[in-house]
A and B are shown apart, each in its own frame.
Chain A
Amino acid sequence: MENIQYILPEIFISISIMLFLLIGVFKKNSANLIYNLSNISLVVLLALIINLSSLDKIYLFNNSYLIDNLSNYMKIILVGSGIFVMLTGSKYIQVINLNKIEYPILILSSILGMMIMISSNDLIVFYMGLELQSLALYVLASFNRDNLLSTESGLKYFVLSALSSGLLLYGCSLTYGFSESTNFDQILINSTEFNYGTTFGIVFILVGLAFKISAVPFHMWAPDVYQGSPTSVTLFFAILPKIAALSVFIKFLYTPFANMIDQWQTIIVFISIASMIFGAVAAIGQNNLKRLIAYSSISHMGYALAGLATVSNQGIQSSITYISIYLVMNLAFFCCLFMLKRKEKYYENIEDLSGLSKKHPILSVSLLIILFSLAGIPPLAGFFAKFYVFLAVIEQSMYFLAIVGLLATVVAAFYYLRIIKIIYFDPEKEEYETSHNLGLKITLAVSTIFILAYFIYPSGITEIVSKITMI
């Protein structure tokens, strides 16, 4: 019982979820109330996590739960971006009539699942967290149930995700069978000798994780789900599951499988290169902005994985830096999407941006900055994200990975430029509404300034994550 203070955040959020469910059932028309309460509970949750962040390494519950620097940092950015996701999407879900009590509760439970994933140190605990977040996400994807695309995306996500969970589970059981334990540290100790069983286990687990992070060749669900889901859910999809999955990736590769580097390094390099190239090439032909950002996030995950492939602390840190900057850029981009509203309807095609710069100069400049940053052009934040990754990659003399990755950025630059071209060079269309809620405006302003001014102190995130060492 004396350990209970360490999992206070998880306990707090679980109790909040149950409480909000009760409130929602017994009080009528409480959707707004619960939405706001959830937001507040996320803020409290963040405070609770930050309160624990001075801890270095604490094992709980028979070593099945681990709180360390990695989990703390990942939870902070997870909950932090959760707050912004809720803030920016509040108006959106009202406009498209999704403001139901289940929506914030599902988001909270999915966040709880992710937190458990991030802290897990045991295959069973990990799987439990994974399923909790996945089940919440299935419902969220099809939340706009009267919309054909949304239900389709929910179903598609469910079927494919279940399949990948199955593979993952199979991998877990193989790993358990050959290493005689479900505990990560125990697996590490028991797997010093090479055997095929564990290798198969690794492959299956990596496939499952690659699916969650939407890396090529397990990305097929991403474009449809991104496009079909309500935009606020897409934003959620684009950021939070990626943080959790990346953190689990790091955990798996460098704790239970740290003795099997030869076995998984090639797989990660391959997945990384394939994602970078595929994401860059496939996005060129897209016309729906949400679909385009799905492909863009596939290629971004490729860069994040490139850092992991280096087998060095610097590489891991660069991946974490990458995902931190990535989430800010995506948040900013979706803020812009939420602003493309006219007469209670949201627009999400590239052509809808045509000539935006004449009537909406500030929105256009923000988009310009965000897109150039996504493309990785200096001096914006996206460049430093890539710079750190390639710094780590080249340190390990993985020149092929570095050169392919950088050439893929040139291809990717094309489709970002295409959007900029449409915003700035094309003839203008009708005006969009200019009144937006404060949360949205603040989020956009803060994230854009972050991207723009990152070069002034570019080692900010790096210094924070430099505490995270896995090797």
Chain B
Amino acid sequence: MNFPILSSLILLPTIGALFILFTKSTSGKYQSSKYVALFISLANFLLSLYLWIVFDKNSVDFQFVENREWLSGFINYKVGIDGISILFVILTTFIIPICIISVNATIKNRLKDFLIAILIMETFMIGVFCSLDLVVFYLFFEAGLIPMFLIIGIWGGERRVYSAFKFFLYTLLGSVLMLVAIISIYWITGTTDVEKLYELGIKAEYQNLLWLAFFSSFAVKTPMWPVHTWLPDAHVEAPTVGSVLLAAILLKMAGYGFIRFSLGLFPIASENFTMLVYVLSLIAIIYTSLVALMQEDMKKLIAYSSVAHMGFVTLGIFTMTQQGIEGSIFQMISHGLVSAALFLSVGVVYERHHTRLINKYGGLVSVMPRYAIVFMVFTLGALGLPGTTGFIGEFLILMGAFEKNILVAMIASLGVILGAAYMLWLFKRVVFGEMNNQDLKSMKDLKTFEIITLSALVIPILFFGFYPEPIMNSIESSVEYTLNMYNFDLINNLASKD
């Protein structure tokens, strides 16, 4: 048996967390545990990069598969990655060190507990993207609620309790139906192994209900309209790092789930429900963009913009075209980087001025020129300017949508304009304009660690914006394989009906 590289990727952060648990600090500041956490997360990042290097991009199979007996013979612990999941793993391992570096700005108390929570969270998030068994997936998917609940609840803002409860209960409610579906799949097919299920297929008669059960979970997590209301609350109350994790990675679990499970396991149902997803996505795009326009709180604005962006993602996935799905994956990676960067940027000014209200800011460009530059890059990334990652994702999604349904594509394009409107308006009000608040004059420009974290995000946003090849290469064959399988199942189903 080869070295279990994926399991070590999953377990390493937890081991780090255990290590931190047993460290003691006389000063009570736990600086050393921060370095431990940073070291562990960077090691994990390097490990995932190594994975990327040895990963065979032309193969459509799952790679680095580990299969161990787990639940006495009938459910195995199975992990493995393909071209799609590896990107999300790298995104996760990339975002976590950034979170840990920016911790000292936002977390004043209980730093040690916070680091443990983040590292455990990393374990669960990587686990979600690696798992090749539905029960293992569910386990990681749900387990992530515990650390996130604590992150929002302990280190959050004023209404943190309400938000933490709302986040937890909403997501749990969505997920329990998925558990029923997973167990049903086990009894219908005799396995919960994703690879085997791809081969076996699930009978058409069961697919609709199962699809809906999975959808209920993913729709809450994505979040799609009308079950998106937990997201703005959670984002606003969570500490900066919590928002980053939530926006950059947690939301992607659902998009990933749609591609891996909804499309892969229930192709016929996915086809049946395409219109439903289109409508919900379009409402999300247009409605939440309009809502975002009216927000006075920066974090809330970005939160609503996340809902709109995820609307593009779901739209792209359900176009069932090569461009659409590739665009969705690209959009998820891009949104992971951009929204993380935006929340960090808000964190930067919030930490100095202690308010997130937009109208308390203005004219920051004169006191914080460096900040203005990076914030501009992120704004442009969010609105999808060519040259940033945001553009490629949205462009491909719209291309896919045009192929399938022109009306849908046209409405979605409106969302791009609205997106530009609220992002530019936000930028204008915060960075430009008159500085009518005297306190702002004393604001300092970016500190070293902020420069490190923010430029770490600027680089990939611009790099992949100009040169998307590496990402596209990675996902191309896997997406093609998923689509082929999807179309094959559809044709078979039609043939069996005749």
Contacts and interface: CB of A to CB of B under 8 A. Distances in A.
Given A406-B176, A413-B168, A417-B149, A378 B186 contact: no
B146 interface: yes
Contacts of A420: 149, 153
A261 interface: no
A303 interface: no
Contacts of B177: 403, 406
B153 A390 contact: no
A377 interface: yes
Interface stretch (A141-149, A251-259, A322-330, A394-402): A394-402
Nearest to B174: A410
Given A390-B180, A414-B169, A421 B186 contact: no
B172 A459 contact: no
A421 B173 CA distance: 19
B183 A459 contact: no
Contact of B187 (A395, A403, A462): A395
A413 B72 contact: no
B172 A413 contact: yes
Interface in B136-185: 138-139, 142-143, 145-146, 149-150, 153-154, 160-161, 164-165, 168-169, 172-173, 176-177, 179-180, 183-184
A462 B70 CA distance: 12
A395 B185 CA distance: 10
A230 to B, nearest CB: 33
A394 B165 contact: no
Interface in A443-462: 455, 458-459, 462
A314 to B, nearest CB: 11
B154 A424 contact: yes
Interface residues of A, number: 32
Given A377-B143, A379-B143, A391-B186, A399 B180 contact: yes
Given A395-B187, A463-B72, A421 B180 contact: no
A459 B77 CA distance: 12
A383 B143 CA distance: 10
Nearest to A395: B187
Contact of A424 (B139, B142, B150, B176): B150
Interface string B46-62: 00000000000000000
Contacts of A406: 176-177, 179-180
B278 to A, nearest CB: 28
Nearest to B183: A394
B407 interface: no
B459 interface: no
Contacts of B142: 377-378, 383
B145 A390 contact: no
A377 B146 contact: yes
B139 A379 contact: yes
Nearest to B153: A425
A409 interface: yes
**Main SS at interface, chain A:** helix
A245 to B, nearest CB: 27
B161 A407 contact: no
Contact of A425 (B73, B154, B176, B187): B154
A404 to B, nearest CB: 11
A410 B161 CA distance: 17
Contacts of A383: 139, 142
B145 A377 contact: yes
Contacts of A379: 139, 143
A419 to B, nearest CB: 12
Given A391-B183, A413-B168, A425-B160, A407 B176 contact: yes
Contacts of B135: 387
Nearest to A462: B72
A372 interface: yes
Interface in B365-418: none
Interface in A391-443: 391, 394-395, 399, 402-403, 406-407, 409-410, 413-414, 417, 420-421, 424-425
B71 interface: yes
Nearest to A460: B72
Contacts of A414: 165, 169
Contacts of B173: 407, 410
B143 A394 contact: no
A399 B210 CA distance: 12
A402 B179 CA distance: 10
B138 A378 contact: yes
Interface string B306-348: 0000000000000000000000000000000000000000000
A341 B164 CA distance: 30
Contacts of B71: 458-459, 462
Nearest to A418: B165
Contacts of B164: 417, 421, 425
B180 A403 contact: yes
Contacts of B113: 361
Contacts of B180: 390, 394, 399, 402-403, 406
Nearest to B145: A377
Contact of A378 (B139, B154, B168, B187): B139
Interface in B73-88: 73
A368 B483 CA distance: 43
A285 B144 CA distance: 27
Contacts of B153: 420-421, 424-425
B146 A372 contact: yes
A394 B184 contact: yes
A361 B154 CA distance: 14
Nearest to A402: B180
Nearest to A409: B176
Contact of B143 (A361, A378, A402): A378
B186 A410 contact: no
B66 to A, nearest CB: 15
Nearest to A386: B179
A148 B83 CA distance: 68
Contacts of B143: 377-379
A417 B139 CA distance: 19
Contacts of B73: 459
Nearest to A369: B146
Contacts of B139: 378-379, 383, 455
Contacts of A462: 71-72
A197 to B, nearest CB: 38
Contacts of A395: 187
A410 B183 contact: no
A454 to B, nearest CB: 11
B138 A390 contact: no
Interface string B181-202: 0011011000000000000000
B382 to A, nearest CB: 32
Interface in A335-394: 361, 368, 372, 377-379, 383, 387, 390-391, 394
A457 B424 CA distance: 53
A413 B169 contact: yes
Contacts of A413: 168-169, 172
Contacts of A459: 70-73
A425 B179 contact: no
Interface of B: 70-73, 113, 135, 138-139, 142-143, 145-146, 149-150, 153-154, 160-161, 164-165, 168-169, 172-173, 176-177, 179-180, 183-184, 186-187
5 contacts: A372-B146, A387-B179, A410-B176, A417-B165, A425-B164
Interface of A: 361, 368, 372, 377-379, 383, 387, 390-391, 394-395, 399, 402-403, 406-407, 409-410, 413-414, 417, 420-421, 424-425, 455, 458-459, 462-463, 466
Given A383-B142, A425-B160, A458-B71, 8 more contacts: A391-B183, A399-B184, A403-B180, A409-B172, A413-B172, A420-B149, A421-B161, A421-B165
